[in-house]
Structure 1
């Protein structure tokens, strides 16, 4: 049970764009729910997004979150700061262990759970520059802001299929001057892969970055093999670490990277456990995550009075 003995209709874990969208829907559907927010949404790193349809001049990630919280506040308090450190399933409910900001802990019971815990970008290993992505010195989403980098000199930090894929995406979409920086990782290219890089004029630098030149709080140049190379924009394509441990502990189906597989209602393979946002296998975009959240919230509302599969009469 929750501390007050109530079983919630839904516990939302994560207070980013997806989690707050689900909360808005459930608030307006008059459901009993709570958002537990650790306060570390990936969206907060976004300097400016131009892919949110109603903001013609772009909007920062922090502003998106602030506007969502302000909108949600009109329906009453429903967001609690904390970290869900454990989640277990009983026949008719989920039990979450929540560690509060004050160091205390409590248990929350809910009929359904929506995971919107997102992911974290793997930071590049650059000399004397930790957390470059989080600090906004390196971009991580060419779908979001590649248009603003069109016809500029772009470097992509990455290797393997993902790094090559992002470099090719940028080269065929936005710029004819793209360099792939592998940070010392040697590429083992097939003739077909090399031909693809050559087709798009992508240069490859496989040696480590030795030092950086900073100008006005931006990376102006990288030094490789004693030579400086200046770029207008740097993108990281090192992949993501998905915050899916809670779902995996319950046996939810996932791909090799840890992102979750869901059905067309955004329900995982664990009955009553839903997922929305970056944690779901597919495209990592704010509007996609909001769409996940809307689908999940409506399905949760429509099935709140129905038993889960382990209950009598469950599907």
Structure 2
């Protein structure tokens, strides 16, 4: 274990990675966190769904607090994107633009990226900051209670998200992102059953004010209080693939056991890169499980014993 630079390298500084970092440093393990700074949590202008913050907290502030907590216990955190990960004798070697380290174990917490709706990037970011675009109906469906909501999506996935949001408001419109809807009869029946309006695309967001966002479609302009893109996401599994970890053919996520172990010994994964409920609280839980598993697995190779600090006498 001593030949390696670190006991564990955490790749990704979102809720899962930073929770694991807090645990691992408090286990007195040598830890490095390399974070590309792209956590989806940083997009959240204010979440009221995270326990312990009744007044809400922004994603950026939450991540900053977690970073400070990990660093308080000795975590080394570097802003960079790991581009190469290799298995080597006794562990792993990671490389990025300005560095290269070795570690006995690796925790992958690289998450996913939501696919954005067709619109100007600056307009998207402005609308997101105002809550006019939302990506997580589980987190913030409550905030659109009885409001006008557009769902940009199609197929069974788009229909499922529209139906889920129907539990918060009766004013739901499902808009195809790039062409006319081609829905299965079962999905068409669901839309009729729940009274959800269906509009053909292509769709393009054209304007946003403080209170609403306007979507242009082939059937005219539609104005909403909030829009939910239901376009899926891309899971960041590249590094897992480089070391040969199993990726699910159906979910495109890293496959792990109940303790966040992947198919590769010493390689773990947690958070949205793993199939599950894409929530901050869930990611934190997986981060804690992964960190504890890493500590216990390392202890099987060599007992982790804390020696008392020597005091100078006389």
- The TM-score with structure 2 as length reference comes to 0.88
Partner Cα distance (1:274, 1:307) in 2 = 17
1:285 match: 279
2:163 match: 168
After TM superposition, give the deviation of residue 131 of structure 1 in Å: 7.2
1:153 match: 148
CA deviations 1:68-125 (Å, max 9, x no partner) are 122222213511122211111124211111223xxxxx32111110001111111111
1:235 match: 228
Give runs of ≥4 in structure 1 deviating > 3 Å. Answer: 128-131, 305-308
Once the two structures are superposed, the pairs formed by residues 117-132 of structure 1 within 5 Å of their partners are: 117-126=110-119, 128-129=120-121, 132=124
**3-state DSSP of counterpart to 1:186:** coil
> Does structure 1 residue 296 correspond to structure 2 residue 290?
yes
Root-mean-square deviation (CA, aligned residues, Å) is 2.2
Q: Is the 8 A contact 1:16 1:43 kept in 2?
A: yes
Change (3 A) 1:77 1:291: closer
**3-state DSSP of counterpart to 1:50:** coil
Q: Is the 8 A contact 2:200 2:218 kept in 1?
A: no
- The TM-score with structure 1 as length reference comes to 0.88
Q: Is the 8 A contact 1:121 1:133 kept in 2?
A: no
1:246 match: 239
**3-state DSSP of counterpart to 2:63:** helix
Once the two structures are superposed, the pairs formed by residues 1-315 of structure 1 within 5 Å of their partners are: 6-100=4-98, 106-126=99-119, 128-129=120-121, 132=124, 136=128, 137-171=132-166, 173-209=167-203, 212-216=206-210, 219-225=212-218, 227-256=220-249, 257-307=251-301
Change (3 A) 1:226 1:164: closer
Tell me whether 178-187 or 161-170 shows the greater mean CA deviation: 178-187
After TM superposition, give the deviation of residue 21 of structure 1 in Å: 0.5
Partner Cα distance (1:144, 1:62) in 2 = 16
**3-state DSSP of counterpart to 1:83:** coil
Change (3 A) 1:199 1:31: same
Partner Cα distance (1:7, 1:21) in 2 = 21
Runs of 5+ unmatched residues, structure 1? 101-105, 309-315
Runs of 5+ unmatched residues, structure 2? 303-314
Change (3 A) 1:180 1:69: same
CA deviations 1:7-27 (Å, max 9, x no partner) are 311100011111110000001
